[in-house]
Structure 1
Amino acid sequence: GHSVWPEPNAIRTLYNSGNFGKDAYFPRGAYGLPILFHFGEQNPLNCTLYGFSDGIMERWSSPVILKVARLNQDKCIKICLKLNSPLPEGWCLKRESDEKKLPPSAYPMADRPAKHGDTLNGNDPYTALFKAMASEDPMTLGKGGRV
């Protein structure tokens, strides 16, 4: 099905028009790299998002640690830690031997105010995650426990 994340549309725009377009945005890169984008068997747009710093970074670990801890039979807490690790200097999409550097406006931490109905509910991926973790909506755990 169609993704609710913005990256697939940015990739389609890039490979259909030759540029990223003004709405290109890759927020999931903030949670670790590489990210493989697969568009289905009949679509040749498969590519990978990497970070770079003195060349391609084969891996960049997520600076986010998520945990749900059970306090007792009826109560759990959600824990979200954001480590102070530096982001890659830049970001690029690689498709076979073709590399395209992302413009700074498409970087995960670019200041991008959320639009009404936007999946990303914050100005950056970490703020959106913290807002989601702070919500009062309960989450179901294994044996019926609620968070």
Structure 2
Amino acid sequence: MNKVVETTVEEAGNVGFYMDFFGFRERPFTLVPDPDFLFWSAQHRRAYSVLEFGILSRAPITLITGGVGCGKTTLLRELLRQFGAKITVGLISNAQGGRGELIQWVLNSLGVPFQVTTSYVQLFQKLQDFLIEEYASGRR
């Protein structure tokens, strides 16, 4: 017979509840993915190698896709930790819309300011100018 464990709301909200139970020293479940808790499966190593190769080969863009919760953001955070200020990463999640909206998602992810009313051609020019500036400054 299964034993039911009764827990109060206060106990459940206490991080120590599961940390003590599982013997954790740090919180493994946070809102922001933490590369310290990255599980290096064969697929994660392969995906990281592809991202790393994209940077080292100066590829203009490298794309990684996968299901929800499979570790894409955590891999990117590890990549940022390794390469730091040498690279610029734009993270786009759940983008919707047509090409005009997509370029807005890209600019937003790269921190490039724009007006929503700006034409597609002008947005494309902003992106192109940003990429040229990044390349000229030696960033990837």
- For the superposition of Structure 1 and Structure 2, which TM-score range results when normalised by the shorter chain? under 0.3
Q: Which has the higher helix share?
A: 2
More strand by share: 1
| Larger-gyration structure (1/2) | 2
